[in-house]
Chains A and B, each alone.
Chain A
């Protein structure tokens, strides 16, 4: 399948360019597909390509030394990933994996430099994309580095326990995130951490509190 001009037009990077300019960029774009769960980028490896998602979803994540995954970003169609290492020349700061079948459009690092030189007006949009990324990461860092989110998640669980007879309110990770004033990615990690500590167990659509006292202690740790 040929790279679609329509698609390039939707990418924020190229949104200010005319058709003739897009045509010339199109020549430098290649296609790449990946299957569900396939790694597209490995953390720490050298970065050669900038990618745009044409269809499907890509997860960008870091893996801790204990093997725990922290999602940094969910990349949907028309969005890009691996921008940072393309521009600073460093290795991939995070891994990227296909969440289902994906079609990607890639541009080689050297070709991106040519594109920027030939169409300097793109730089403003690149800055916008990078600035948005930084803002998102800064808020994640804040929540991941201070312990208070896990306390808040523990409290939310505590306050929403269902009774024996009646079903309690059901909560999504999205809702817990809104209540805790954080991102959904951080809630996922907090639940995993609470499970590792033995306070709760995730059982399909149920969160089972296994150790109420342990959960209460976590909840009461001053943040």
Chain B
């Protein structure tokens, strides 16, 4: 399954800013908390992390070596 951003629902206040900026519509609000729609393939643009005022959603990177 596609990798998705990580949410910390304790920090989410349901403001919906991330939902509005996600260009793939991968996020939604249910019961005042952000929910990730796992069927959408997120492209890791990290806009949701950038706009979240509380740090409740994040897009962590794995760092690997693959030299050419």
Contact = CB atoms under 8 A, between A and B. Distances in A.
Interface residues of B, number: 29
Given A168-B64, A170-B60, A204 B3 contact: yes
A168 B63 contact: yes
Q: Is the interface of A mostly helix, strand, loop or mixed?
A: loop
B44 A99 contact: no
Interface residues of A, number: 37
Interface string B45-68: 011011101010011111111111
Given A100-B21, A205-B59, A210 B67 contact: yes
Interface stretch (A21-29, A38-46, A80-88, A154-162): A154-162
B17 interface: yes
A153 to B, nearest CB: 11
Nearest to A206: B62
A10 to B, nearest CB: 13
Contacts of B46: 172-173, 188
B23 interface: yes
A184 to B, nearest CB: 7
B20 to A, nearest CB: 4
Contacts of B33: none
A74 interface: yes
A206 B44 CA distance: 9
Contacts of B44: 204-205
Interface of B: 3, 15, 17, 19-23, 42-44, 46-47, 49-51, 53, 55, 58-68
Given A57-B17, A168-B64, A173-B50, 20 more contacts: A56-B20, A56-B21, A57-B21, A76-B51, A77-B17, A99-B20, A100-B19, A100-B20, A100-B23, A102-B20, A161-B64, A168-B63, A172-B46, A174-B58, A204-B42, A205-B3, A206-B63, A209-B63, A210-B66, A211-B68
